[in-house]
Chain A
Amino acid sequence: GAGVSQTPSNKVTEKGKYVELRCDPISGHTALYWYRQSLGQGPEFLIYFQGTGAADDSGLPNDRFFAVRPEGSVSTLKIQRTERGDSAVYLCASSLGRTGGEQYFGPGTRLTVT
């Protein structure tokens, strides 16, 4: 079946601009996660959705970052007033939501802020 998809695959934007990154999880997966991966590092947790609600947003670095999942499927990560330090690969993952269940990752969106 189809895996997790993310669009766009690459995004280049100017400092100060607003960006939206989209994640389409595996059908039927109730849990959705966003992670950020900087060069040479492991992924770092940003936010977790169970259904439509953000159950844990403790990883969002500041209030410029926001994410939604209005219908419990597709999610959008929104970044306002982008900064050069926001440049990274943003990864989305989904799972069935069971404790201990493995997460399935999308290919990521590479964000470059110039």
Chain B
Amino acid sequence: AQSVAQPEDQVNVAEGNPLTVKCTYSVSGNPYLFWYVQYPNRGLQFLLKYITGDNLVKGSYGFEAEFNKSQTSFHLKKPSALVSDSALYFCAVRDVRSGNTGKLIFGQGTTLQVKP
């Protein structure tokens, strides 16, 4: 079955420290993977995606993610966290069973709390 797992409900880091938000996936074929961020009372904002090519993908606001095929993971990272990074983060995979519709399967979300 196609699925995405975010094993941590919440991640706490101190400002200036590196952060990692974990994501693992289960999908047949080559995965298309995405990270989105959601601030309170706002829609989801696209951060980055992996389609093919370099396993390290760079995105908005200094975030990056590493695709690891052997571990079926796509962890979100940032070298130095900011208080303003505090938000809800979603990992998503394109549902390849649906052909080319592009519909996404989302994880449950991880709340990132960056403390000053």
**A residues in contact (CB < 8 Å) with B:** 4, 31, 33, 35, 40-45, 48, 50, 55-56, 58-59, 91, 93, 95, 97, 99-108
- Let me know if B32 and A103 touch, CB within 8 A: no
- In chain B, positions 83-113 with a C-beta closer than 8 Å to chain A are 90, 92, 94-95, 98, 100-109
Q: Contacts of A56 on B, CB cut-off 8 Å?
A: 98, 101, 103
Give the CA-CA distance A89 to B108 in the complex, in Å.
15
Contact of B102 among A40, A103, A105 (CB under 8 A): A103
Q: How many residues of B contact A (CB 8 A)?
A: 27
Q: Contacts of A33 on B, CB cut-off 8 Å?
A: 102-104
- Let me know if A100 and B103 touch, CB within 8 A: no
Encoded as 1 (CB less than 8 Å from any A CB) or 0, chain B from 26 to 54 comes to 00000010101000011111100101000
Known contacts A100-B32, A102-B49; A107/B42 CB under 8 A: yes
- Let me know if B43 and A59 touch, CB within 8 A: no
Known contacts A103-B46, A105-B43, A108-B43; A43/B101 CB under 8 A: no
A-B contact count, CB below 8 Å? 66
**B residues in contact (CB < 8 Å) with A:** 4, 32, 34, 36, 41-46, 49, 51, 90, 92, 94-95, 98, 100-109
**Can you list 7 contacts pairing A with B, beta carbon distance less than 8 Å?**
A35-B104, A48-B103, A56-B98, A100-B51, A100-B102, A106-B43, A107-B41
Q: Contacts of A95 on B, CB cut-off 8 Å?
A: 102
Chain B nearest CB, measured from A62 CB (Å): 19
Q: Contacts of B92 on A, CB cut-off 8 Å?
A: 42
Known contacts A43-B106, A45-B104, A48-B101; A102/B34 CB under 8 A: yes
